[in-house]
Each structure stands twice: as C-alpha cells, then as structure tokens.
Structure 1
Amino acid sequence: MFKTTLAVALVAVLPLSSAAHEFWIDPQDPGPNAGDTLVADFRVGDLLAGSSLPWLDTMVAEALHHPPEGPPVPLSSLLGDRPALSVDLTTEGLHRITTVTHPAYVTFDSLAAFEEYLDYEGLDLKPDDHVARGPAPMAISEEYIRNARTLVSAGTLERGSADTPTGLEHELVVTGHPFEPGAEWVEVTLLWQGRPVPDASVALIRALPGQEGTRRILRTDARGAVTVPLGGPGGYLLNAVRIVPVDGPGAVRRRSHWASLFFELSR
C-alpha cells in the first residue's frame, strides 16, 4: 500500500489508506446543555470507528469554537491531552468546532495503490497525470491537510438557527441545521475557498447506535449541494477531498485538502 509521515511520531496513527483515513472531531456528549463543558476527541478511522488522537501542537494548526453569537474563540490544550478538546458551551444554540491540521505527507508505493485511493474517494482524476508530475516514474507523493468541522446543539435551538461558513479553505456547510425534530433530510454545500463546488464527490458515512457504519458516495449538484438523508439517531460524517498541483517540498507535486463535517443525532 502506501505510507505516511508527519512532523512528529504521529505517523503510525494517521494512515491515509482505503481503511482508516477519515478524520473528525467527535464530541463525547451528543446532547449537551447550555453551560456544559463539552469534551471532544480527534478521531481517525473508518466508518465512524477509530482511534482517538492526543493534542499535538505539531498536528493542530488551528482549532476554534464558533458560538451561536460573537467571534470565534481559539481552543488549545496541553501537549498530549486526550480528549484533545474542551469547549465551554456558555449559551444555548448551534455551536461549531473547527480544526485545521498542519500538512502531513504520503508516498504511494505503487500506481495501483494511488488508483485505489482515487477510486475510493470518487475522484475523477487521471492517475497518469499525477504520476507524470513526479521527478521519477513512480514518485507519487502527496501533501495533505485536514479541515474538520463538528456541529453541536446545546439546549433548544431558536427558529432560524443555521450553520454558516467558518472560513476554512475547504468546508462542508449545512443549510439550516440537522437537529430539527422530525427532519428527514438536510442539504449540505461543499465550499472551496468560499465558493460552491459543483459535480464533486462527497462521502457520507453513517453509524447507527451499536451498529457498524455504512458509506456511500454522493455527488454535488450545480449549486455545490448534496441531500443527506436523516434516518434517526447516530453519527453522521461527510468527507470530501480536493487535490491541487503544487511544487515541493521534495517529490511532492500535489496537495489534498480534506473537508469533514460531523454531527450526531440523539433522537
């Protein structure tokens, strides 16, 4: 397959393969109240099952709490803290937690492994074009950055509460919010540098309580949106990958930007 490296010895727990490669922010309480302190894990895994990661300054480029009103609040933890995040939910409403990682790197051992990665993510790219950008025939190296968002409902949401973009370079944003009682679906828009991305793949991973997760690929429409069915309680994770050409460092000739959106329904 292929191997990854990070600026620290986190390498072994941040794989980027068809198994265990989603990264998300996982709150420990799916239904907090206003005034609670919410703790959340960084997780890497597959089908919403995976290992928690500690807070590492060399991994986290930025972590922010976006409360229902007011400016975002920077989040930080002590080196090695697990759970990695602690967030004070001082007011009722829709809270957003975002994290951007420092770049990490992957080198694919074969063209077949690279093709498997593209196919798994639903990326309509020509592998030969990416291989040709390397200094050697099989130098398929990639830099990747994670852009993770989580939505949390604290207490009762007022009418008109809605998710909004948080300024991540690559992000998935809900139209309205997914916590409306009785809602059967929600619309989610994929943004790149603040603009909707049409005809792009978005993976939807869903895990019912006590069951293994399932995964399907959705495709954004002309407005950059996908419709996400809401089928009751459990975790919902959306993931999208965008690959852009870059020069360096070393053999790296491409950068992938990973956008994830997680929320959990308790009803």
Structure 2
Amino acid sequence: MSSRHSLAVLASLLFTAIPALSHEFWIEPEEYQVQSGSPLKAQFRNGQNFKGTALAYFDKRNARLEQVIAGQAVPYAGRMGDIPAIETTAPLDGLLVVVHQTAPQTLTYKTWEKFKAFAEHKDFPDIRARHRDRGLPESGFAERYTRYAKALIAVGDGAGSDRPASMETEFVALTNPYTDDPENGLHVQLLYRGKPRADAQIEVFEKAPDDTVTINLQRTDSQGQAIIPIKSGHEYLLDAVVLRPLSDDSPEVWESLWAAMTFAVP
C-alpha cells in the first residue's frame, strides 16, 4: 500500500472514530451517468450539508453491499482500505441501484445537549419527555446507529425502476430521475420494516453545478410518499431517520436507523 493511500485510510479511520451526531452518510458516485462496460467508482461519504469525508472500504463495516439492476442483485466486495470504496465496471444498460447497509455502530453521549440537538434536528421534538419517562440518565448513555443507503446510477439509457430492497428502512424511487420529466419531480416512498412510513420528515439536500447546497424539508403523506422538486443538472441527497428505544437489557438505550438516497438529474 502506498504512503499516500495509507494516509487516506488513516484519515478515514480517524474521521469515523469521531462521534457522528447528526452527520449524514451517503453513496456518492464519481459519475451518475456512465456507459456500459466503463469504469464505475463511488465514494462512501460522511458529513454535513452534502459535504463530507470519503471513507475507506472495510468488510467489518458492511452488513450488505450490492449492485441491483433489473431486479438482479450482485454482491460487491472491495479491497480493505479502498478509496473510493466502490470501484468496478458498469453492467449492461439500465437503472443501477447501489444498496448499502452498514454494520451497527455505537455512540456514547457525554452531554444531553448533543443528543437533544440531533433528535430535534431529525424531527423528534418530544425526545426529552420520552427519555425521562424511561428513567434514563441525561449523560453517559449510548445510541446504536445503522445506515441504509442507496444510490441511483444511469448506465447507458438508465431505463428501469427502483424497488424495495428489504432493508429495515429505505427510500424507494417511484419514478426515474434519468428518464422521467424532472418538472414532475421525483416521486419517492419511505419505508420502515417494509411498510410506508407516514408523516415522516425528509431532509432534501440539493447541490447545484457550482457546488452550492440548499436544504429543505418535506413530509411524507399517509402512504409514506412525497414528491421531491428536482432540477436538471443538480445532484440530490435524501435523508430520513427512525429513532426508537432499545430494550432494557441492551447496553445502548436508543437506536437510530438512517435512510439515504442519492441521485442526479441530467
């Protein structure tokens, strides 16, 4: 391994050792539109405001990593320390969906304020009452968190459709950003345990061609669906979080499940 690569891996390890708080995790392809048979590269990123550090590939951090096209899932295995985390060859034409579930990680909160800020930002304003009702301490408690990320990539014409990937929580694109009219927005559905998650907050990060990022909030309807306004030439990250209690015999008292989806509009 080269010294430059070793430094990149070390930086990735140091960054992931820092408490995540409200940092998002997403898959960022180097190109969202590629030709069949051409190189396909994608980064795992962790950060805020659609800007973050590239994370290296490590088997122990991955519970699931697949490339799905036309309903066929192909597991992906990289080399330890790879940056970008995904480096492969684009398959046949169609809508390629990269599906990634991380291994669970744990974060310990030394102060209540940091947990409160995270929970309220992710649309859990009643967190203090719920925490106190369970008789939990307001410092020195732990949270378990898992990421469920998707990336939509157009190979060739990009034709095709997304579908549920049987993850604990996930976004499903009901329309195709590469083939459908962007003026109609992107129709998405948010699932939790395979069922629509109604009245849930979706945080929408929109990156313009000049790399400026704007953020807005959407809510799902009774069917867990929302229409995301999109613009040609822009890149998007959708983020939604489930925050649920864990049983009394667990060392962590809360668990957060992070759904993310990235895509671009031609």
TM-score (norm 1): 0.87
User: Which of these residues, 25, 37, 40, is aligned with residue 39 of structure 2?
Assistant: 37
Paired residue for 2:190?
190
- Alpha-carbon distance, 1:240 to partner: 0.6
CA distance in 2, matches of 1:11, 1:130: 30
Query: What code does the residue aligned with 1:231 have?
Result: K
- The DSSP-based 3-state class of the residue aligned with 2:52 is strand
Change (3 A) 1:181 1:174: closer
- Alpha-carbon distance, 1:192 to partner: 0.6
Paired residue for 2:263?
263
- Alpha-carbon distance, 1:112 to partner: 2.1
For the pair 1:77 / 2:81, whether they are aligned, the reply is no
| 1:81-160 correspondence to structure 2 within 5 Å | 81-133=82-134, 136-158=137-159
CA distance in 2, matches of 1:11, 1:134: 34
For the pair 1:164 / 2:163, whether they are aligned, the reply is yes
Q: Indicate conservation of the 8 Å contact 1:170/1:258, yes or no.
A: yes
Change (3 A) 1:115 1:162: same
CA distance in 2, matches of 1:81, 1:182: 36
Query: What code does the residue aligned with 1:212 have?
Result: T
Change (3 A) 1:131 1:79: farther
Q: Percent identity of the aligned residues?
A: 28
For the pair 1:207 / 2:207, whether they are aligned, the reply is yes
- Alpha-carbon distance, 1:249 to partner: 6.9
- Alpha-carbon distance, 1:195 to partner: 0.6
Deviates more, 1:208-217 or 1:184-193: 208-217
Change (3 A) 1:142 1:37: same
CA distance in 1, matches of 2:14, 2:245: 23
Paired residue for 1:175?
174
Q: Which runs of 5+ in 2 are unaligned?
A: 1-11
Paired residue for 1:57?
59
CA deviation digits over 1:48-102, x for unaligned, max 9?
1111000012211110010225x31110111101111123322101010011111
CA distance in 2, matches of 1:260, 1:203: 10
CA distance in 2, matches of 1:86, 1:134: 47
CA distance in 1, matches of 2:35, 2:262: 18
CA distance in 1, matches of 2:85, 2:167: 20
- The DSSP-based 3-state class of the residue aligned with 1:112 is helix
Q: Indicate conservation of the 8 Å contact 1:134/1:140, yes or no.
A: no
- The DSSP-based 3-state class of the residue aligned with 1:167 is coil
Q: Which runs of 5+ in 1 are unaligned?
A: 1-8
